Amino acid sequence: MATLRLGDTAPDFTAESNLGTINLYEYLGDSWGILFSHPADFTPVCTTELGTAAKFKKEFDARNVKMLALSVDGKDSHNEWIKDINQTQSTEVNFPIIADEDRKVSDAYDMIHPKANDTLTVRSVFIIAPDKTIKLILTYPASTGRNFHELLRVIDSLQLTAYHKVATPANWKRGEKVVVSPSIPTPEAITLFPRGVEEIRPYLRLTPDPTA
């Protein structure tokens, strides 16, 4: 299996989960999607991550993003782990966790790396657009928990730039100024962005967030 890259079509799959059988494309429908991989059940960092993910579900819902997690353990193990997550993280896991015992999904998404344990997935995040293309891939070491505020920030940027001819600068947050696409001449940009175009350099022009 070749390594997945940004812009590739997300591999479709049908698999069991704690919430029943899931087909990725049917589950996502016309929504965005975020897929979290986890090495195994009952791991400490991932326990905190899935608890945090559950607490952030309303934020993902507000952005039309459907959540999906994955571990190489089975459904019965997932159900026991979810009890621990709910108890220790004071939440209720409210999204599917794929039981990838045969590692078909892990292999399709290149989640098992040669330099990692050959039975455990690495801790990756995939953001999938409504057209089923992969828009973001992040891979974390086992020692570092994922930052869900950053994941929401990235989704805000991806959704904004998917529908407007802009990019987002460093540390950008929703509502802040954005960068006008370099491919747009300044006279056209002034027409396209009537709230103003600030030309710092010919190649660096800012305009207010068009969705704010």
Query: Looking at the annotation, which residues are catalytic?
Result: 46
Hey, how many other C-beta atoms are within 10 angstroms of the C-beta on 130? Answer: 13
Spatial distance between the Cα atoms of 25 and 28, rounded to a whole number of angstroms: 5
Q: Is the dihedral of CA 82, 87, 90, 92 positive or negative?
A: positive
Helix%, strand%, coil% for the chain, nearest 5: 30, 25, 45
Residue 57, Cα to own-chain centre: how many angstroms?
A: 12
Residue 155: name the closest of 29, 35, 65, 38 by CA: 65
Q: Do 34 and 146 contact (CB within 8 A), yes or no?
A: no
Q: Do 189 and 205 contact (CB within 8 A), yes or no?
A: yes
Q: 157: which residues sit within 8 A by CB, 6+ positions away?
A: 168, 172
